[in-house]
Chain A
């Protein structure tokens, strides 16, 4: 699971976190997390985002509130999370038991030329989440911590927030469907059944 840099391999981490996912819905922030969840196996319960930078955590909240008995994972990057930090306060106040947020932190804007993000300079997203009121958080840097991270996502009580420090190297581009209406409506059908398309 380690890259040559000694940091976690993002795609291997994603594969492990989503293995045996059951009915869990996954929202992936735009860019590499969206390619990652697609590379490890496209799925009707995946919403890989093509845009809306800063939206991933709040989309997760809206879904978690609508489907309180279903686990919801937001998998996103450090740049995307930094753009929507207010969501940490909003989510901490609502305390959705079924929502987990995992930031794959490579300390760079990977889609735009690998410019450094604030986390490269020590901005601590886990401390921000704790300050907002997240009672359960993790900071993951080593392979032997990933099992506990996976357990928290799949079986722990939310809201849960974690940062996993990952290797910055880009991986093979694996693109999800580009028509967002398909991505949205296949998830709605997977959750709501055929009524998803007839609801008024």
Chain B
């Protein structure tokens, strides 16, 4: 991880990124699509190294909603990884899940949520859960490291068992806010 990167990645000792990867494998996820986020950086590396997972890097998160629709048509289970700011890019496209009853699990790392340094992250971070729920998404939060794996497990199960958009919001409290030494 670049020490000068603005976003903060999980500690090397944190177990939850590898636990999410194990859950993707357990649930037979074949496609992972994403706009990169530091919070997901280790999970992204694990997915890229896995020949049984097709990783698609998107230009905007709403492409991922459409990609999950196409994957499901062809029998692949897919998940979308993104940062909370990307949720705002998905809102109208989430109608695809309701039109077709298509499973769409999303794993969202939160910014603008707990001790945020960057003012620009606050508006969308503060609105993330409300706008997802306004579009009919089942949203569950994980604000401790121990909560993340069971919540992601539930999010994936609810998407594929009940055919709708679901999301885990991984709280900024888990990863911590970067402050550039300017608390």
Q: Which residues of B contact A180 (CB under 8 A)?
A: 99-101
B62, B76, B78 — most chain A CB neighbours (10 Å):
B62
B59 and A94 contacting across the interface, CB-CB below 8 Å:
no
A196 and B78 contacting across the interface, CB-CB below 8 Å:
no
B67 and A89 contacting across the interface, CB-CB below 8 Å:
no
- A-B pairs with CB below 8 Å: how many? 121
Closest Cβ of chain A to B1, distance in Å, is 23
Q: Which residues of B contact A93 (CB under 8 A)?
A: 57
**Interface positions of B from 59 to 81, Cβ below 8 Å from A:** 59-60, 62-76, 78
A86 and B60 contacting across the interface, CB-CB below 8 Å:
yes
Instruction: Identify B30's interface contact among A50, A60, A66, A188, CB under 8 A.
Output: A66
Instruction: Identify B100's interface contact among A54, A63, A181, CB under 8 A.
Output: A181
B58, B62, B66 — most chain A CB neighbours (10 Å):
B66
Q: Which residues of B contact A57 (CB under 8 A)?
A: 66
Closest Cβ of chain A to B67, distance in Å, is 4
A47, A94, A184 — most chain B CB neighbours (10 Å):
A184
Name the prevailing secondary structure of the B interface residues: helix
A58 and B73 contacting across the interface, CB-CB below 8 Å:
no
Interface size class of A (residues with CB under 8 A): 35 or more
B96 and A52 contacting across the interface, CB-CB below 8 Å:
yes
Instruction: Identify B95's interface contact among A52, A66, A67, CB under 8 A.
Output: A52
**A151 contacts the other chain (CB 8 A):** no
A66 and B71 contacting across the interface, CB-CB below 8 Å:
yes
Chain B: how many interface residues by the 8 Å CB criterion?
34
**B31 contacts the other chain (CB 8 A):** yes
Contact with A along B22-58 (1 / 0, CB 8 A): 0000000011000000000000000000000010111
State A20–B47 Cα separation when bound (angstroms). Answer: 39
Instruction: Identify A181's interface contact among B30, B70, B93, B101, CB under 8 A.
Output: B101
Q: Which residues of B contact A61 (CB under 8 A)?
A: 56, 67, 70
Name the prevailing secondary structure of the A interface residues: helix
Contact with B along A28-46 (1 / 0, CB 8 A): 0000000000000000000
Instruction: Identify B73's interface contact among A59, A84, A200, CB under 8 A.
Output: A59
B60, B70, B71 — most chain A CB neighbours (10 Å):
B70
Instruction: Identify B75's interface contact among A58, A59, A196, CB under 8 A.
Output: A196
B99 and A90 contacting across the interface, CB-CB below 8 Å:
no
Q: Which residues of A contact B96 (CB under 8 A)?
A: 51-52, 55, 59
State A131–B99 Cα separation when bound (angstroms). Answer: 33
Instruction: Identify A52's interface contact among B54, B66, B73, CB under 8 A.
Output: B66
Instruction: Identify A64's interface contact among B70, B92, B93, CB under 8 A.
Output: B70
State A61–B71 Cα separation when bound (angstroms). Answer: 8
**B161 contacts the other chain (CB 8 A):** yes
Closest Cβ of chain B to A127, distance in Å, is 18
**Interface CB pairs A-B, < 8 A, 7:** A52-B99, A55-B65, A62-B69, A62-B70, A62-B76, A66-B70, A86-B60
> What are the nearest 9 A-B pairs in CB distance?
A62-B70, A66-B74, A86-B59, A58-B66, A55-B66, A180-B99, A66-B76, A184-B100, A59-B70
Known contacts A62-B74, A66-B30, A67-B74, then 4 further A-B pairs from the complex at CB < 8 Å, ordered by chain A residue: A59-B69, A65-B74, A87-B66, A180-B99
Interface residues of A, Cβ cutoff 8 Å to B:
25, 27, 47, 50-67, 70, 84, 86-87, 89-90, 93-94, 180-181, 183-185, 187-188, 191-192, 196, 199-200
